[in-house]
Amino acid sequence: MANMLDYLTWRGDLLLRQDGWNDIDALILANLCYCDLRAAAGLKLKDAPPLLPEAGAEGLMKQHLGLLKAAGESRRFAEVAVTDSANNLDAAKNIQFAASVMDAPDGMRVIAFRGTDGTLTGWREDFSMAYEKPVPAQLSALEYLAGMASGFQGPVMLTGHSKGGNLALYAAAHAPREIQDRLVAVYSFDGPGLDEESMTSEGYERISRLVHSFVPQSSVVGMLLSYHPDYLVVKSTEHGLQQHNAYSWQVAGPRFVTLSDLNRSSKVVDQTLRSWLKECTPQQRQTFVDTVFDVLGGANVETFSDMKRNIPATAAGLIEAARKVDQETGRMLTQIAGKLVMAGAGSLFDQLIRPEPNSKPR
């Protein structure tokens, strides 16, 4: 089994001018954005790792820093320069936004938008997409794209993992025409879909041919909104919500190993969320989301990891939220929340599992 780190070992010696940009390159830069690159602004990737020491890093952040080191040591990415990096986390304004700009020797400017960082603020903003449009991070992404594209006349690529993929899509769809004309690709890796208004806009129609959307076979995050672009399904070595970790995504050379369809658990999640969006009013959605996160915040739950460690507080939040809405809506939302939690843990559909379709390289 091979992932994007193996890709750097296999093909990291090939310069971008020798072998052009591909989907795996875009995924790598989308994940490098999880590193706080503000201290590396003005430096090339080969010089950035010492500024972000791995000592004390755990879990995903340790993987991201390892990826940064591997990219900086490769001929393919060593000369890529970090031009700018931004990071804004403000719980009072319900915003979690971060992005980085990386300029390649071939003249490509890549703007990578960071996904949800695991804080309660980040996840609250994600779920706010169900009733609020645009959310603060989407407006920040559009403003950031406008600022980073102005004064630069070359080609621009947008990329992002998780919420970062949604931000890339939103910024591309709503950017001025003169910026859209310089976009060469827009990548969303298991990112929530756009709202219907954005998906049916003239702006999205102009950039739709540039969109590359990928989800793992048990996607949960990528199914968070009803309206999302056509996607390819990537084979993952993990289960349930853990498939959101892009280091589990399988590659063959410069391409992903793909499957013919989502598995059944992900389809049920998709259908469940569509039902929620269809049957609840925006006000009902907001009441439920606000109540859940207010209760969790009051229980000293600050991160997604805290939710997993503090199941009683998480359950209390769901129950309290259900009480704030009418009986029928509360019953439905409690069932939905239960399905999502269990689907993410990979346990709800164990009895339904069948052999997955044969994988194939894209």
CATH of the domain at 223: 3.40.50
Whether residue 310 is found in the same domain as residue 246: no
Considering 236, 263, 290, which residue would you say is the last residue of a domain? 263
What is the total count of domains within the chain?
2
Low-confidence ranges of the chain (pLDDT < 70): 54-56, 117-126, 130-131, 220-229, 263, 265-278, 288, 292-293, 295-362
pTM here?
A: 0.82
Considering 235, 263, 291, which residue would you say is the last residue of a domain? 263
CA–CA separation, 322 and 110 (whole Å): 43
- pLDDT for 90 equals 80
- pLDDT for 25 equals 98
- pLDDT for 297 equals 64
- Exposure b/e, 319-338, CB count within 10 A at least 16 = b: eebbebbeeebbebbbebbe
Whether residue 210 is found in the same domain as residue 332: no
- pLDDT for 312 equals 67
Whether residue 179 is found in the same domain as residue 292: no
Residue 287, domain member (yes or no): yes
Domain around 65: 4-263
- pLDDT for 336 equals 61
- pLDDT for 346 equals 39
- pLDDT for 69 equals 95
- pLDDT for 194 equals 87
Whether residue 241 is found in the same domain as residue 295: no
Whether residue 19 is found in the same domain as residue 134: yes
Residue 350, domain member (yes or no): no
In Å, how far are 97, 112, 165, 167, 306 from 120, measured between CA atoms? 13, 22, 19, 18, 9
- pLDDT for 262 equals 78
Whether residue 173 is found in the same domain as residue 28: yes
Considering 263, 298, 327, which residue would you say is the last residue of a domain? 263
Residue 231 Rama label (left phi>0; alpha psi -120 to 50; beta): beta
Whether residue 316 is found in the same domain as residue 228: no
294: CB partners within 8 A, 6+ apart: none
Whether residue 243 is found in the same domain as residue 338: no
Residue 351, domain member (yes or no): no
